[in-house]
Structure 1
Amino acid sequence: MVIAGLVLAGVAAVVHVFIFYLESIGWTGGLARKTFGMTREEAEAQRELAFNQGFYNLFLAVAVVVGIIVYAAGQHAVGATLVFAGAGSMVAASSVLVLSNPSRAAAAAKQGLIPALGVLALAIGLII
């Protein structure tokens, strides 16, 4: 179960690296505008905010990846803590998204379901 949790958290990290790309690099491009339902003008107006938010997503992904590496290196408590912190923050952020704007429930699910499953699997694996 631990391996399943680490794999799911790793997949969540990859998703958050993609979100980083959309928000910090490709924000005004067609894919990001389509994904977030914006016009070019709206994207330009929000560019600075999105750039910052994208890095937040990248740092969560980095915490998870470092946690997986540290766990695999035998430092289980430290590695699991980093995975819980990174993936747990992803889940918390997706919860804030859906609570602040219920019409974004689908986006929140895409952002938060995989890390939630990873946290759950890791926790169960460490308990049993």
Structure 2
Amino acid sequence: MQIIATIMAVLVAVEHFFILWLEMFNANSDMAAKAFGVPRELLKMPEVQTLFKNQGLYNGFLAVGILFSLFVMPAAASAGATLFFLACVLVAAVYGSATASKSIIVVQGLPALIAFVLVYLA
């Protein structure tokens, strides 16, 4: 069970590294326009680019936090810290789903919820 929980938490971190890449380094692309449901012309605006880069950085912090809690923290603190970062992802997914796109709850929230439950039970 511990291995499955770790794998799922790592997958959530990988997903957030992908989001970091998309928002920070590839925001002005057809892929980003489709993923975020916004016109490409909007993504070309410098102000929007700045907002996306900031958002991407936060997603990167979540990913690093999950990996740090899994592989660097002492075993006694690892599960609690991992649950904290997964809960942060869940809160962000709920907020994003309520304010930006309903699909966020499935794309980001569901994997985080599954990982959270598995880590909690392990």
Same fold (TM over 0.5): yes
Root-mean-square deviation over aligned CA pairs: 1.5
Q: Following TM superposition, by how much is the alpha carbon of 1:112 offset from its aligned partner in structure 2, in angstroms?
A: 1.3
Task: After TM superposition, list the pairs within 5 Å mapping 1:1-128 onto structure 2.
Answer: 1-45=1-45, 46-70=48-72, 75-101=74-100, 104-125=101-122
Distance of 1:3 and 1:110 partners within structure 2: 22
Q: Following TM superposition, by how much is the alpha carbon of 1:53 offset from its aligned partner in structure 2, in angstroms?
A: 0.4
Secondary structure of 2:89's counterpart equals: helix
Query: Which shifted more, 40-49 or 110-119?
Result: 40-49
The structure richer in helix per residue is 1
Secondary structure of 2:44's counterpart equals: helix
| 2:115 partner amino acid | G
Distance of 1:54 and 1:122 partners within structure 2: 25
Name structure 2 gaps, 5 residues minimum. none
Distance of 1:89 and 1:69 partners within structure 2: 18
| 1:98 partner amino acid | S
Secondary structure of 1:27's counterpart equals: coil
Q: Following TM superposition, by how much is the alpha carbon of 1:114 offset from its aligned partner in structure 2, in angstroms?
A: 0.8
Secondary structure of 1:105's counterpart equals: coil
Percent identity of the aligned residues?
Answer: 28
Name structure 1 gaps, 5 residues minimum. none
TM norm structure 2 = 0.89
CA contact under 8 A between 1:63 and 1:85: conserved in structure 2?
no
Q: Which consecutive aligned stretches of 4+ in structure 1 deviate over 6 angstroms post-superposition?
A: none
Q: Following TM superposition, by how much is the alpha carbon of 1:61 offset from its aligned partner in structure 2, in angstroms?
A: 0.2
Query: Which shifted more, 30-39 or 87-96?
Result: 30-39
Distance of 2:62 and 2:55 partners within structure 1: 11
Distance of 1:112 and 1:106 partners within structure 2: 9
